[in-house]
Structure 1
Amino acid sequence: MASLPPFPPHFGPSLAPTPVVPPLTLAPLTRPPSVTPPSQPTRPALFAPPGYVRSVHACPAAYPRMYEGTLSRSSYPYSSIPETETKEARAARLEKDKVACAEQAREAAKTEGAGWKTNSGEGLWLSVERWRREDPVEGGVTLLMLHANGMLKEDYHPLLESLFASSPTVQFGTHILSSTAAVVVNEVFFLEDSLHGTSVDLNAGRLPPLHSWADGARDVLNFLSHCAPAFDEEVGWALEWRERASPRKVFAVGHSLGGNMAVHAAAAVPGLFEGLFLVEPMTQPTGGNNSPAMNYHVQAITLKRRDTWPSLDAAKTMRTNPMFSKFPDSIFDLWLSHGVVPKNNGELTLTTPPWCEAVVFSDCRSPQRGWDLLPSLNMPVGFVMSKDAQWMGGEKIARELTSRPPRARNERTTAGHLAVQEDPMGVGEALGRFLATVRGGVWDKGASKL
């Protein structure tokens, strides 16, 4: 990973004293209403690294939820879209839609937490991928991968291949030589948000027009506490919801939205987490979704995104798109195989509809609430921050952010906010340093940081 010096510790008063926003108590988890998920959607086959067995599953989402709905991938919860539309008319419509999307969420935030919906019909489901080591090693770790908004859970594959090949030589966040060995990964779970990718298929006809990142955190807790299979347990397509006395303990790897979910979940039930590895987590106090200007901006960008192509060859032309041009071939190939799916008319469309991504961006308070929760984290927390702190609210905020957890270290990459996609090899190596430093027993040894 091409890197910059880590942020030095932040001293003095906070730039945004807690609480930035009112706290939210997560609703208790109860048994979901659904026992049988939809059938498994068709996706191209992917392969785990040598020595691992890959499987895919449907997991009951946390229940009850803050919001419920009746939408599907082909839905559009704002103005109707005419069959033919001029460029000017489309721009005017999207201008109204971005405001409607943002304001709907801001209005809902006024009664946030007043009561989680019981969803008297079917519950929601999450798509889960599992890698299990064929020859487990005593003391090996379990990883839980949580993706960014609008990104694929499968994007973590190249990063993990880099992790498995890494041989850490220095401690995470320092230039101190490491005497610790690489950590063996026994198992990996990839958890997909309810409004993303394959989960969109599983929840067709039940997607809500609003989304709470708090429910995403509850999905994490629900999976670890009630649905994650034991290592030696063979499971089929549907993961069973069970009362469990000894839930799984994991290292959570969270990027952007996924980092926020990891923070919320670990603050609520810290005993489930051995450590957090956070890449540009959306846990900032300013400049985020609580700002009307920022809220409208991200909605506008997301809703106008192209979402349909007549063929796979046409979709391949996205390689020159400014965002995709920064991705290595391994990530772009995953987008071609899992980021688009066929429509009934033979065209291809995004697996995560732009309106779903916009709905997730519209959560008004969760980034700020993540900031408020960071000091409560009592486990090792490793941050990977980008060279440009614009998504964090500026460099001063980013520096304090990486010092708020009491047991935090950080590294900085020259990649951007989408570091997982832009530099999977470098971030994978950083994850290797993080795991080795924690498991090597030197995380809290007082190593000086650059």
Structure 2
Amino acid sequence: MPANMTSTYPFEPSPPWTTVNPKPFLPFRTRYGSEELEAPSLPSPRNEPFNDNYIVSTHLVPAGCPRLTPDIPLPVVPKFTINAAERKRDIQQLSTELRERQERFVQGKLGGERSEKPLWNCVNRYVKRVQDGRKGLTLLFTHANGFPKEIWEATLRYLLSSPTASLIDEVWSWEAVQHGDAALVNETNLSGIFDWRDNARDIAHFLSYYLPEHTSSKILPTHLQLLPETIRESRKTKGFSSRSLVAVGHSFGGCSSILAAVNFPALFSSIILIDPVAISGLHYSHSSNLIRLNSAALARRERWPSREEALRSFKASPFFRAWHPDTLQLYVTYGLCEDSQGGVKLKMSALHEALVFVDHIGSNEAWELLEKVDERIELRWIVPGKPEDKGLAGEQATRVRVWRRPANSSNVVFHFAGHLIPHESPVELAQEISAFLEKKYGRQSRAYL
């Protein structure tokens, strides 16, 4: 099956590799024990115009239950010290502890029952004010590690004000359990260990159990309602009755989208993969990169006297220097919250960011299972091409990755951007997404909808 789009990188076969023995999804339960879930309140509720044609609102849905991981205490983070050598030693020691704990979990040596503590995912909904009665597109955006769901809004500002917006009825922006507002809701119930596959399960859980049956301009409740069992079961094999779903996943979110699509293919029409962290288990450079990312996360500053001071600090940082100013402002507005000391802090703690980085099984499984994504689902890869950043584990690994599932797949290289494409180049990203949607779902292709 040919793809609609052309490719920058020509076909590259996968080299020999050793399986990581991917496991099937753990089935969901719709209740935690015998008790109904107590519905929490939203930390940052929104119900407001997004632009002239779309309204944004914020909602909560229960995360999948049970979790793949046990409920264990959070590791103790060493107190900050101005002694640089001592600080570096403490961070390295904690980083090693996290990696060793994760490895024991992977080997089945950690012990403990799968956690059933209630967790929630937070989602933003961007819905067209006036529906035209035709079956349009539903987009689902899934973020990279460390960033709130609103990080996509720079891209969405351009996409939803473009001519392509006529094809889009509704957009949902996803937030994993330890990110953004979801992190605030789940603060007391988060475990000291995390498995990427749970984020993929949570996405599938939302799409199968809670995404409303029809797109409507009506106001939805803060806590989305559980769908009837007949609809939930039908979606497993037949997909949506009145939606065409396009997933847009970046990095960690891209891996999660891959795993969700492998296990629930009927839900997806196409997936736009923005440099997903899908890496072969044999790629040792990825392991060293994860160690670096894990240590960098643990060393992050978490508090500032004010948002203004935080913004000044970010602008002075080499990490944030390449960001588009709109994206950086979104991070300051939605990635931070007030703290008890009168300043502001990160909604997602540095520790939880590190706990996400330290897992690699989801990344390895996503790489291996890519070839099993249903060929009906078109894949469009968007990957970085800066001289110093040609994709995770290097350019050759990227060239192989984008052809793991050759049929109905294409790729484009952003030579002006690094791994953080949505943060650095939201205008160009919106244009690329727009071009893909027009090509596949435009007026001349309405039969796809």
Q: TM-score, normalised by structure 2?
A: 0.86
Note the residue ranges of structure 2 that are not aligned, 5 or more in a row: 1-5
Correspondence for 1:236 among 203, 221, 229:
221
Q: Considering Cα pairs closer than 8 Å and 6+ residues apart, tell me whether 1 or 2 has the greater RCO.
A: 1
Residues 286, 392 of structure 2: 8 Å contact kept: no
Q: Which residue matches 2:370?
A: 374
Give the stretch that moved more between structures: 232-241 or 378-387: 232-241
Q: What is the CA RMSD across the aligned residues, in angstroms?
A: 2.7
Residue correspondence of structure 1 range 279-428 to structure 2 within 5 A: 279-285=274-280, 292-317=287-312, 318-377=314-373, 378=375, 379-388=377-386, 391-405=391-405, 406-413=407-414, 414-428=416-430
Give per-residue Cα distances to partners, 1:360-390, cap 9 Å, x unaligned: 1111222111111111122100000000455
2:72 is the alignment partner of 1:77? no
Judged with a 3 Å threshold, the aligned counterparts in structure 2 of structure 1 residues 66 and 5 are, in CA distance, closer, same or farther, namely: closer
Q: How many percent of aligned residue pairs carry the same amino acid? A: 25
Specify the SS of the correspondent of 1:189: strand
Specify the SS of the correspondent of 2:64: coil
Give per-residue Cα distances to partners, 1:185-237, cap 9 Å, x unaligned: 10011110111110111112100111111111111110000011232364211
Judged with a 3 Å threshold, the aligned counterparts in structure 2 of structure 1 residues 97 and 131 are, in CA distance, closer, same or farther, namely: same
Correspondence for 2:185 among 198, 202, 205:
202
Q: Which residue matches 2:3?
A: none
Note the residue ranges of structure 1 that are not aligned, 5 or more in a row: 168-180, 444-450
Residues 15, 397 of structure 1: 8 Å contact kept: no
Aligned counterparts of 2:185 and 2:90: Cα–Cα separation in 1: 30
Q: Which residue matches 1:109?
A: 106
Residues 150, 196 of structure 1: 8 Å contact kept: yes
Aligned counterparts of 2:308 and 2:333: Cα–Cα separation in 1: 12
Aligned counterparts of 1:47 and 1:92: Cα–Cα separation in 2: 48
Q: For residue 441 of structure 1, report the CA deviation from its aligned partner.
A: 9.7
Residues 66, 113 of structure 1: 8 Å contact kept: no
Aligned counterparts of 1:37 and 1:65: Cα–Cα separation in 2: 19
Residue correspondence of structure 1 range 260-275 to structure 2 within 5 A: 260-275=255-270
Aligned counterparts of 2:284 and 2:346: Cα–Cα separation in 1: 24
Q: TM-score, normalised by structure 1?
A: 0.86
Correspondence for 1:155 among 151, 155, 161:
151
Give per-residue Cα distances to partners, 1:13-67, cap 9 Å, x unaligned: x2243x5311111101111325232111136887412211211111100111112
Correspondence for 2:206 among 197, 204, 223:
223
Greater fraction of residues in helix: 2
2:1 is the alignment partner of 1:37? no
Residues 287, 294 of structure 1: 8 Å contact kept: no
Q: For residue 294 of structure 1, report the CA deviation from its aligned partner.
A: 3.0
Residues 145, 189 of structure 1: 8 Å contact kept: yes
Q: Which residue matches 1:448?
A: none
Specify the SS of the correspondent of 1:145: strand
Specify the SS of the correspondent of 1:392: coil
Judged with a 3 Å threshold, the aligned counterparts in structure 2 of structure 1 residues 400 and 291 are, in CA distance, closer, same or farther, namely: closer
Judged with a 3 Å threshold, the aligned counterparts in structure 2 of structure 1 residues 289 and 330 are, in CA distance, closer, same or farther, namely: farther
Judged with a 3 Å threshold, the aligned counterparts in structure 2 of structure 1 residues 350 and 410 are, in CA distance, closer, same or farther, namely: same
Specify the SS of the correspondent of 2:173: strand
Aligned counterparts of 2:285 and 2:200: Cα–Cα separation in 1: 19
Give the stretch that moved more between structures: 203-212 or 62-71: 62-71
Correspondence for 1:429 among 408, 428, 431:
431
Give the stretch that moved more between structures: 278-287 or 102-111: 278-287
Aligned counterparts of 1:335 and 1:237: Cα–Cα separation in 2: 23
2:85 is the alignment partner of 1:88? yes
Give per-residue Cα distances to partners, 1:84-117, cap 9 Å, x unaligned: 5533221211110111112211221112999971
Amino acid paired to 1:255: H
Residue correspondence of structure 1 range 101-140 to structure 2 within 5 A: 101-111=98-108, 117-119=114-116, 122-137=117-132, 138-140=134-136
